Structure 1
Amino acid sequence: MQSKAAARGLQGRRSRGVYDAAGSSLDLTRNATTPPIWLNQTSAQWMHVKDIKEGITANERVLAEASATGASLKQHQATVMDKIQRVEAQAALKLEAAAGYVEEAMKSKAAVEAEAAAIAAKAAEDEAAIRSMRELMQEMTANHEALTKGVMDKYALLRKAVGDYNKQLLIAMSESALASTALSTVMA
Structure 2
Amino acid sequence: MKKSLLAIAAVSAMSSGAALAQQAEGPLMVRVRAVNIDSANKDSTGLGLSINDKAIPEVDVSYFFTPNIAAELILTYPQKHKLYANGLGQIATLKHLPPTLLAQYHFTHFGGFKPYVGAGINYTRFSSVRFTPGAQGLLGPSIDKNSFGPALQVGVDIPLSKNLYLNLDVKKVYIGTDVHSSVAGGKVGSFKVNPVLAGVGLGWRF
Shared fold (TM-score, shorter chain, > 0.5) = no
Larger radius of gyration, structure 1 or 2? 1
Name the structure where helix makes up a greater proportion of residues.
1
TM-score (normalised: structure 1): 0.27
Higher relative contact order (CA 8 A, sep 6+): 1
TM-score (normalised: structure 2): 0.25
